[in-house]
Amino acid sequence: MTKFTFDLTGRVAVVTGAGQGVGRGIARTLAAHGAKVAVNDFMLDRAQAVAGEIEAEGGRAIAVQADVGDFAGVQAMAVRIDRELGPVDILVNNAGNAGPDGAMPRLDFWTTDPAEWNRYLHVNLFGVMTCARVFSGGMVARGYGRIVTIVSDAGRTGEQGFEAYSAAKAGAAGFSRALARSLGRHGVTANTISLSNMAREGAELSPEAAAQTKEMLKRYVVRRQGQPDDVAAVALLLASEASSWITGQNYPVNGGFSFAI
């Protein structure tokens, strides 16, 4: 019987947008299983804090600042990671939402300005493509790699008031499937994890917001918000040797908000 392992010792991972929330959880989980982790965030202080947590727990990590949609910036980040940790084996495209400020107002699409759409496309679609472009070549050359991209149920089912965000996430999922077809013969896999409503780290809800959340969760089979550990467990599988025959797939981690065949 094959003994499956989630041991990532000797592997180098970069997790984008890992200064908080889901990215932080994934970075810490990969490090706990032996990976050397480059913690990326647009905000350097956030990346440094998470890298410090990993080091304090006995892992190896560095903080790397870059805008994932900036090709030159990601190239410079890759050079530093290679110099300090080694060639990247695992890329987790986690950076998302609406960029550094995180504000995502729900708007009627017919009232939006096209300039506003770029906030979503820049990080959720172009950021994924940029990072994959920079890191996949080395994976192909070495004959091994894992690319895991965090998308959203908004890209699977659509989300009223978040049309540009939904489009960007659907685009990232389609890009990942195409990438899987290109990279599979080189020993590199590409998969996505689609999320639904996640609890916000350290957020205290007002009574009104708490009531709205409780009402919203009636649409979920598992009636709670998602936690970073829920996502990190699946990311660990897709980053490990155990997923060598899984590629081009999407894994909904969504508490049963929507089902997939």
- Active-site residues, by number, are 165
Picking from 9, 27, 11, the residue whose alpha carbon sits closest to that of residue 19 is 27
Which amino acid, 259? F
CA pair distance 8, 90, nearest whole angstrom: 10
Phi and psi at 116, nearest 5°, equal -70, -30
Neighbours of 132 (CB within 10 A): 22
Q: What share of the chain is helix, strand, coil (3-state, %, to 5)?
A: 50, 15, 35
- Contact between residue 60 and residue 36 where contact means Cβ atoms under 8 Å apart: yes
CA pair distance 80, 5, nearest whole angstrom: 29
Torsion over CA: 189, 192, 198, 202 (sign): positive
The runs of H, that is alpha helices, within the chain are 21-32, 44-56, 71-84, 114-121, 127-142, 153-157, 163-183, 207-216, 228-239
Which residue bears the tokens 């810490």?
A: 28
Picking from 72, 65, 119, 71, the residue whose alpha carbon sits closest to that of residue 96 is 119
